[in-house]
Amino acid sequence: MFWKKKNRANFFKSIRVRLVLGYTVILLVGITAVSVYFSFQMKSRLIEVTKLYLTSEIEGAIDLLEDEESDELGISDFLSRHTRGIKGSHKIGYALFNDKGLILARSEGFLEDKKSVENMIDSYDKEGVSVERESTIRNPDKTIAYLVTRSFRGRAGDIFYLQFGATPFGHREAVNIFMRTGLLMIPVILLVGLVSGFILTSQFLSPISRLIKASNEIMLSDSVSAKDLPIRGVGDELDSLAVSFNNVLRKLRESYQKIILFTANASHEIRLPITAIKGEAEVVLERGRDIEEYRSVMESVVLEMDRLTRMINRLLYLSRGDSGMDKLDIKKVELMGLLSKMVEFYRVLTERKNIILDLSAKESSFFVQADHSKLEELFSNIIENAIRYTPENGSITIEIAKQKDKHVISISDTGIGIPEEEQGKIFERFYRVDKARSREDGGAGLGLSIAAMIVKMHKGEIKVKSQPNKGSVFTISLPRE
């Protein structure tokens, strides 16, 4: 078939098609509703005008009759002449009743409403006050006639009931013409709605089309090379959508660049110990060695393997954290006790370099809800960095304090410090201020990244202040229990 079922389904799934059809339907329903409303208003107004016209004419006729000294025949003759002489858009018929409800005279073809007259006779005021009643009656041709009945007294004191009626043929035709015109306009309205809806939706949805195009470019390219969507500056929702998309695209670019850099750095860092191991093995294989030389080579290999294992474990640690697989084992942890044990553990390393390692606090206990092993990893990375970059005869001070709804742990050292322009980068993976020295000391630039990730997992905050050749202060804030 020319238009397959699948194509039809996709066609009606299009936002543009649905908007155009919705716009057209709303336009059609709106105009139809307005047309129906105005036709009813016109009809109601025409009925009101007809009744006012009949009331005015019947009052004029009664005023004349009350001044005439005529019998029933004379009144009938007068009414016949009077109604024929009425000029207007309505053809008026009449009927004259006596006080018994009997018809004395009526115009040709007039269909009277006897029931209204009978009701008026029952309620007529004996003092002579006029009584008036409005009614409707359906003609044999299914049209509606509007009637006004009025009582009056003749010069002789007799009570009569005069009924005027009219069917607004011309007015009804005007309403019908209005309705037919509205129906004939439906195809035009549909055409205008479809064309204008297509133009408007094309204009409004063009940013979305560009967004789809940019998304496809991202999927088809090896890098996030798609250009930012232009901002029209109108300030509407589509501008907001373009801004949000550009922000997401910018984040993707940054993440992509970080992945490239991370892959390059990881490959480089892994290659170094492997190259060292390979070199040691090749040297051993060149000629025979004594036991001490073999021992020395194997110790070097083990050292490089330890370095490689440690780095791989840290990469896996970061990977689990990024993927959300690494869950926290939240328990009640007392910070003072935890840091006291860590200070004792690292005191052996600090004594080798004659570094003073001190822990102080104004209170004896500081409780947090945290993962105990992760806090150990966090503080180990910071303390090890402080020991690594603090020269001999220096000092490392750990302080704990309470501040409102958090505990603040500061770890300060008198080490080599960090230049101001480098301080914003030290939590990035594989970033090292002094790359050569870090390799010598076994660092791969992952410790502070892990520390920052752990702090973030605990909804805390980590900051650094440092001056070259004066030292650094790492401040860690953790929510209180």
pLDDT tens column, 149-175: 888 877 777 788 888 888 766 556 666
pLDDT tens digits, residue range 4-62? 554 555 555 666 677 777 777 777 777 777 777 777 777 777 778 888 888 888 888 88
The DSSP secondary structure of 347-389, one letter per residue, reads HHHHHHTT-EEEEEESSS--EEEEEHHHHHHHHHHHHHHHHHH
Task: Check pLDDT > 60 for residue 266.
Answer: yes
pLDDT band at 401 (very low <50, low <70, confident <90, very high): very high
Token pair 């005021």 is found at 125
Buried-exposed string 311-332: b where 16+ CB fall within 10 A, e elsewhere:
beebbebbeebeeeebeeeeee
Most confident of 63-72, 108-117, 243-252, 335-344: 335-344
The mean pLDDT of 90-117, rounded to a whole number, is: 83
Does the pLDDT of residue 340 top 50, yes or no?
Answer: yes
What pLDDT does 3 receive? 47
Q: What is the pLDDT of residue 473?
A: 94
- Torsion, CA 81, CA 86, CA 89, CA 90, rounded to 10: -50
Burial of 182 (0-12, 13-18, 19+ CB in 10 A): middle
The pLDDT assigned to 2 comes to 46
The 10s digit of each residue's pLDDT in 356-391 is: 999 998 888 899 999 998 899 899 889 988 998 899
pLDDT-derived band at 221, boundaries 50, 70, 90: low
Q: Tell me the per-residue pLDDT of 423-467, one tens digit each, with 9 for 90 and over.
A: 888 887 776 665 544 444 545 677 788 888 889 989 999 999 999
Domains for the chain: give ranges and CATH numbers.
33-177 (3.30.450), 214-326 (1.10.287), 328-479 (3.30.565.10)
Radius of gyration of the chain (CA): 50
pLDDT at 189 over 80: no
Question: Cα angle vertex 254, ends 251, 257, to 5°?
Answer: 150
Nearest-angstrom CA–CA distance, 113 and 75: 20
Contact 40, 182 (CB under 8 A): no
Computed over every residue of the chain, the mean pLDDT equals 77
| Cα 215 to Cα 232: distance, rounded to the nearest angstrom | 19
Query: What letter does residue 411 receive in the DSSP assignment?
Result: E
Q: What is the Cα–Cα distance from 369 to 331, expressed in whole angstroms?
A: 5
- Cross-sheet strand order for the sheet of 406-413: 356-361, 395-403, 406-413, 471-479, 461-467
Is a pLDDT exceeding 70 seen at residue 300? yes
Give pLDDT tens digits for 402-416: 988 899 999 999 999
How many residues does this entry show for the chain?
Answer: 481
